[in-house]
Each structure stands twice: as C-alpha cells, then as structure tokens.
Amino acid sequence: MLALYHGANSVCSIKVRIVLAEKGLEWESRHIDLPTGEQFSEAFRKVNPAAIVPVLDHDGKLVYESSVISEYVDTLSDENPLMPDDPYLQAKTRTWGILTLSYHDAVNTLTFASYMRQGLLKKSPEELAARCAAMPDRIKAKKMADLIENGAASDYVPVAFGRLSRMCEIVNDDLANGPWLMGDAHGLADAMLAAYFFRLECIGVQGLWESRYPRTTDWYNRVKARPSMSIANDKWIDPKMVEGITAAGHAAFLTDDSFDEYLA
C-alpha cells in the first residue's frame, strides 16, 4: 500500500502528487495541516523528525525528500516510465532533482514574504516565537522570522528572484533540444519542475518567464495542460485560496506591473 503524508498546498507535496498521477498509482492520503503547524506535532515528528512533508509510506517503509520520492514512485509501475533509458539523460534528470532543493528554498521565500506572511502576522508575538522555536532547522527558522518581519523588503527576496530567474533561463536553454527537458519525451524532470512553476504562477510572478523566455513559457503551458496537473491539485487546492495567493503576491512584489527591481 502507498500512503502519502502531504500538505494540500505544499509545493513538494504537489510535486509528488503530479508524479503519482503520471504513473496512475492509487495512494492513501495522510494530510498534514501545515498552516496550523501540524508538521511540528509529536505524532508527525515520529514520521519525520525534520517536520517536513511529503513522506511516502510504502508498506511501512518510509521514503523522504520529494525528488527521491518522485524517482522511487517511477520505479513502482511500468506504466508511463518517466526516467529516460539513456544514462546521460538519467544523470541530467537527477541533476534537476537536486536543483529543485535550491528552487524550493527560493519559492518558499516568495511564499512566506507574501501570502503566508499575511496569515502569520495575525498571530501574537508569542505564537510566532513558538512557531519559529518549533522548527528543527534553525537557519530556516531565522529566515522565516525575517520574512515575516520584512516581507518583500527582506534581503532574502532578491536572492530568491535571482535563483528563479536563472531556473527559467536554464529551462529555456534545455528546451532548445525538444519540447521537453530531456528532448522529445515528457519525463521525470518535467514532472518534478512543474510544481515550482505552478506556485510561481499562483503568486503572480509568471512574468519571470513569460516576458523573457518563450520556450519556457510554451513548456509550462504544455505541462499544466497534462491531466496530472489537475489530478494533483483540484482535490486539494481551493481556487479561492489561489486568488488570495495571487493577490498577496501582486501586493508584495509588483510595482508598476514589474518586479525588475528584484533582479537588478
């Protein structure tokens, strides 16, 4: 049996749900309510001491880290194989999986500097301090505290925009060889990256690629037209919540319909 500990709007959870959908696999949901801090509960810390989703439970064996989970899921069914046969393309695919760690940190930065900040600012100073103290990773806790305090003015924000702009550029370059990142066939790299672009679109900063990288723009349109995107999101993500994320992103980052100041 497959069971997934996941958050409805967690980018890394969306990533794994997309891969599960691409593979046509059934799975049991073990939803963790991230906004309320359930990931820091004693019960979930027994599943993952790092207090991070997703975690895949395969017949009692736990698999961690979304890129590792994604590759593992691909091995569980012969349907729609996502990892290329060519060893070099396998290496490139795994490189994308590693790069998503940096991209996740950047997407997380923009999320907490805008949408998540709005909700967290409603908490008392004591509640905020308790939430930061509950985070096992003290560096991430320090970053979150800074983003809550400073929002779009945080020094972390332009760093995040720079990384994500570079991501869009690399995707654009790789697509010179075909419609998908590994060439002619949609694969695991495309599926893993889709969630990060989805979150950026929700935040309303798709101009990062739409105004600069036409191949990336066309690629993302193909990715989000695949059934796996709606299967991964429709059950878990409320369109009204997406509207709120977009409004918060626009309020935080767009000045005169531009975020060029963050890329200077």
Please calculate the CA angle 147-103-140 and round it to the nearest 5 degrees: 40
Q: At CB < 8 A and 24+ separation, what contacts does 237-244 make?
A: 237/8, 237/9, 241/9, 242/202, 244/115
**If you count them, how many residues does the chain have?**
264
User: Residue 168 pLDDT > 70, yes or no?
Assistant: yes
For residue 248 the two structure tokens come to 């918060």
| Nearest alpha carbon to residue 255 among 197, 205, 200, 212 | 205
Residues with Cβ within 8 Å of residue 35, at least 6 apart in sequence: 116, 119
Query: For 101-144, how does the pLDDT look when each residue is reduced to its tens digit (9 = 90+)?
Result: 899 999 999 999 999 999 888 889 899 899 899 899 999 999 99
For each of the domains in the chain, give its residue range(s) and CATH number, in order of start. 2-74 (3.40.30.10), 87-263 (1.20.1050.10)
Query: For 178-200, how does the pLDDT look when each residue is reduced to its tens digit (9 = 90+)?
Result: 999 999 999 999 999 999 999 99
Question: What is the identity of the amino acid at 74?
Answer: D
Predicted TM-score (pTM) of the model is 0.94
Query: For 10-36, how does the pLDDT look when each residue is reduced to its tens digit (9 = 90+)?
Result: 999 999 999 999 999 999 999 999 989
The whole-angstrom separation of Cα 144 and Cα 141 is: 5
User: Residue 254 pLDDT > 90, yes or no?
Assistant: no
Within 13 Å, how many C-alpha atoms sit on residue 4's CB side?
Answer: 26
